[in-house]
Amino acid sequence: MAELLLDLFCEEIPSGMQARAAEDLTRLLEQALAPLNPRTMRGFYGARHIAASLEVDESIPARTLSERGPRESAPEKALAGFCRKHGVSPDALTKENGFWVLHRTLPPINAAALIAEQLPELLWKFPWPKAMRWGNGSLFTWVRPLHHIACVLDGQTVPFSLARQDDDAHGLTSGNVTEGHRILSPGTFTITNTAQWLRDLEARHVILDEQKRADLIRNGVHKLAEDKGLKLVEDEGLVQEVSGLVEYPVPLLGRIDDTFMNLPPEVMQVSMRVNQRYFALRTQEGKAAPYFAFVANQSFTDAGALCIAGNERVLRARFADARHFWDLDRKTKLAERVAALGAVTFHAKLGTQKERAERIATLAGLIATDMGLNEGQIAHAKRAGLLAKADLTTGMVGEFPELQGVMGGYYAAHNGEASEVAQAIAEHYMPRGLNDQTANAPISIAVALADRLDMLAGFFTIGETPSGSGDPYGLRRAALGVIRTIRDNGLRLDLGHLLSKAAIPHASKAGKDSALEDMDGFFIDRLRVQLRNEGRRHDVLDATLAVTQALEGTTLFKHLDGDLVRLLNRVEALSTMIGTEDGKNLLAAYRRANNILRIEEKKDGPYAPTPEAHLYVQEEERALDDALKEAGPIIDAHLKKEDFTSVMQHLAALRPVIDHFFEAVTVNADDAAQRNNRLRLLKRFSQSGRLIADFSKIEG
């Protein structure tokens, strides 16, 4: 067993590429060195290092390889070609089972030789998303200029060169040196093994353990905030990004000028994050604090005073730009900006943002009506829908697209719009991400749903639907947003009906590629994804969907119950039941009954679920018939009241009766009339379960 360390040292690597590069390096090494049985693989990455450490066998032992050639009866040309391919004469072949066979004994190969052979090609073909050329004429590319290739096997350098024929690959060859921090510890040092390499890197102010770097950043900025009695605005994405920018993180605290503290806190936070990678702070009451945290890439003899002053000066300039946009945007009312949306194309086939705003306004009014809101709220929903996209023409949103909606809410409030309207404009993009909250104010809900439903109906009408992993318009995210908004707020809406209304303005654009009929399956798939993300069983959803129907009336849905709350209540009740012992046994009984019916109906079915009582000859038959007659009306009544838990309880009560039936009754009786009657009874039992689900679709 030998330890191999490969450290690739280059100029600063973009933060977002580092983790993937380390994964690719370990994966490619594992493939290239497979004959050496690589194991205990570890990848490392930082601003200037991509590295891997692993254990390999010291050599590949001698071995015999056999390769079958042409048949003995094959033409001489075939035999000659086989020999020429392997560089041997026919005398080196043997005859086995009617074929010519070549047996070759290969000598042992030491690990260093195989590594030196494989690594140049691996590095030439390394899959950076973007790579660059540098220097004079070499075709070798890397994400940034590559300076050192340290390749050490059990303390010894594995020598190789990247040069190819007339390409010197910048003169890059392997060695046993790398570098520490550019400023704090300049110069190279020698590597002998992984432990020494990590220890000496840290001594030279490079922390290559990504988790340790992230913890230093996370804990450091938290402590700075706590020392001032403030709270950090949690931003794990920013922690990870900054971790890829620094090798020796030193958190520092700067102050924000009081003149900028009346800017919206979202503006301050986004400006700091996007432009400078600063962390925003809040007071204990949740208001913006006059401080910011940032991370330097070195320690300082003056405790960072000069660095802090420089960053404060840069932030003043950034906030001055934001102040300019804030003041300029408020000179034009949001309502006056709607006309300017006519010059902004939403999509070539779906019109302008102005046309879209008008569609959202109409649809928001319809949704508000279906939600049972009053006339004033309906008017507010229409107004918010019309103004929802107006901030796209503002300077602030042009500079910071992340503030869409948020700025519209501020500008609407400044213009004197109703507070509900301003809130709805600010919240209509919610949820913005998988873990974001959904809108819960009535007007906000109506506009948020209208925005997404218009987009879904429009793009499906023109056939621009997601395919594979591609979803350029974010339609999957939009559908999940609709589902979450409806679920979180318990809205009893017919989603299929609303999508039908949303599709009306696009009817003239529907061509041969229109995929409106696929909306049913699309939302079913999104429901499966949502349930899977929650750790729930999507097969229970499939079982429920198999027996539910779309609501009556004009709807795009043919199979999916557009009332998602009702549908998911059924799913929840079924999940709870099959988690009990009675539920599991009842599920087995339904499966057994359905299996019998499927087999027998091929012979002389189907069977009507109307058995004749005078043909019963066993008490278990009568007991099952009585139980089904008693449960049927009760189950129907609970279904009408949407009391699905009670439905499941009454179905579960059938378990002992059906168990006794299967224990005592032979369904395929010799008497044809009895057999047919018992199959009819099983059909009735099977249909009792289909009132709530198709149990054959439940796994396990």
Three-state SS annotation for 35-79: HHCCEEEEEEECCCEEEEEEEECCEECCEEEEEEEEECCCCHHHH
Backbone angles phi, psi at 178, to 5 degrees: -145, -175
Instruction: Say what percent of the chain tops pLDDT 70.
Output: 99
Its pTM stands at 0.81
CA distance 548 to 644: 13
pLDDT at 554: 53
Mean pLDDT of 64-83: 86
pLDDT of residue 512 exceeding 80: no
pLDDT of residue 289: 96
Q: Which pLDDT belongs to residue 700?
A: 63
Under the banding of pLDDT at 50, 70 and 90, the label for residue 549 is low
Mean pLDDT score of the chain, rounded to an integer?
92
Highest average pLDDT, of 57-71, 84-98, 372-386, 552-566, comes from: 372-386
pLDDT in tens, 203-221: 999 999 999 999 999 999 9
Question: Which residue's entry shows tokens 């579960």?
Answer: 652
Q: Is the pLDDT of residue 551 over 80?
A: no
Show the tokens assigned to 285. 């009451």
* pLDDT tens digits, one per residue of 389-418: 999 999 999 999 999 999 999 999 999 999
Which bin fits 310, alpha (ψ -120 to 50), beta or left (φ > 0)? Answer: alpha
**DSSP character for 276?**
I
Backbone phi and psi for residue 557, each to the nearest 5 degrees, phi listed first: -90, 135
Across 587-617, b (16+ Cβ under 10 Å) vs e yields bebbeebbebbeebeeeeeebebebeeebbe
Residue percentage of the chain with pLDDT more than 90: 69
